[in-house]
Structure 1
């Protein structure tokens, strides 16, 4: 059973969802808004949406129902969101390690997964920010939206509902770790392509070869293979 709640405005759906978990017994509880004022991104980044143009959506899932590691769960969440948007946009969508979603070279989704204990239960709090109708991104040159990348105006409410139903269904039966890892690498942005990276404030050419089960990214540089955790390397695109 799943439930989806709506707030006209909130600071962060990841923070506000705790209020909806106190008296609900559903396995999947979602919260969405089209006006999030203080969204957070992965590892302390700030996600700044435009009111009425984009979707901030959070899904709470009890950790006891998730048997894979945190890294693999992070990958699987990115895969589900990628698959959902690929069907919606009818275009090849990629995952920029560790969990940004890229459509035609532009980031349209950011995902933030947190663990919280609420009312004696432990949850994965999956926060997803999707740029849907926004057309201008000021100085953020690598950001885009479903509108800018497809030319199609999607209905915000319908998209929120179908996303919630899709994620809840896909999280009921999680594939094996190996299958998740293979799917993640199959859809990895700029895999096996020469790219530019920023490493310790210096730019280097390299080739992404794979993401592994420990959450590390393997990049082939001029002096050989290197593995990185998030924030140790920045892909410039």
Structure 2
């Protein structure tokens, strides 16, 4: 049976899982906690999470099993989490490029994909922060939880175990790079809608068109026409 380990508290599940990986590891082990002290977000950011009401979950995937570029696997994992939440909530989540999960215009989950070596084996370390039971976010106006966005309460342990099972099946399914990119663009937040963006401190209107095969976001800007952007080069204001 693939192990999933509950930690009463920890600094970061993405760091803690390295202690549980073995040289003969073939399964997808996971660790989770409801009390993460120093959660990590994308590009050096931190992931803030209130204790005992939210989930911090990390899955280790042997990189030898993944037959696609890292940026596409990043999108693939975002689609997996969105699909899981769609089934669980009976709602339509969206993916805010590159891999935040949005429900009803609020961010409920963030992903962090890292590549690390443990016990001589290379892994993709997939960290997921999921807001579950938190009722208010006074310093994070764009954040929400499954409770605030659906009105339903969920059991934290059940979510962790169900997510572990679902990800294992989803991530090993045979798929093509075109399918991965197509799934991302189908889930894409604010696609084909007029939105406000900030680029180098300047705001202007634009329309998200798609994410291209290299992972760039293509935006049709009001003043500059169709442009492509990499992470941190553009900010969507919503």
Normalised by the size of structure 2, how large is the TM-score? 0.97
Q: Which residue of 2 aligns with 1:101?
A: 101
Deviation at 1:134, TM superposition (A): 0.5
Q: Which residue of 2 aligns with 1:225?
A: 226
Secondary structure at the counterpart of residue 108 of structure 2: strand
Q: Which residue of 2 aligns with 1:113?
A: 113
| Separation in 2, partners of 1:174, 1:12 | 31
Deviation at 1:73, TM superposition (A): 0.3
Q: Which residue of 1 aligns with 2:200?
A: 200
Q: 1:109–1:129: 8 Å Cα contact kept in structure 2?
A: yes
Gaps of 5+ in 1: none
Q: Which residue of 1 aligns with 2:22?
A: 22
Deviation at 1:200, TM superposition (A): 0.3
Q: Which residue of 2 aligns with 1:31?
A: 31
1:236 matched to 2:237: yes
Matches within 5 A, 1:34-183: 34-183=34-183
Secondary structure at the counterpart of residue 28 of structure 1: coil
**Pairs aligned (count):** 237
Normalised by the size of structure 1, how large is the TM-score? 0.98
Residues 128-183 of structure 1, C-alpha deviation per residue, up to 9 Å, x if partnerless? 00000001111210100000000100000001000000001111214100011111
Gaps of 5+ in 2: none
Secondary structure at the counterpart of residue 64 of structure 1: helix
Deviation at 1:44, TM superposition (A): 1.1
Q: 2:23–2:120: 8 Å Cα contact kept in structure 1?
A: no
Secondary structure at the counterpart of residue 2 of structure 1: coil
RMSD of Structure 2 on Structure 1 (CA)? 1.0
Q: 2:7–2:32: 8 Å Cα contact kept in structure 1?
A: yes
Cα distance 1:120–1:23, how it changes in 2: closer, same or farther (>3 A)?
closer
Cα distance 1:89–1:156, how it changes in 2: closer, same or farther (>3 A)?
same
| Separation in 1, partners of 2:158, 2:24 | 23
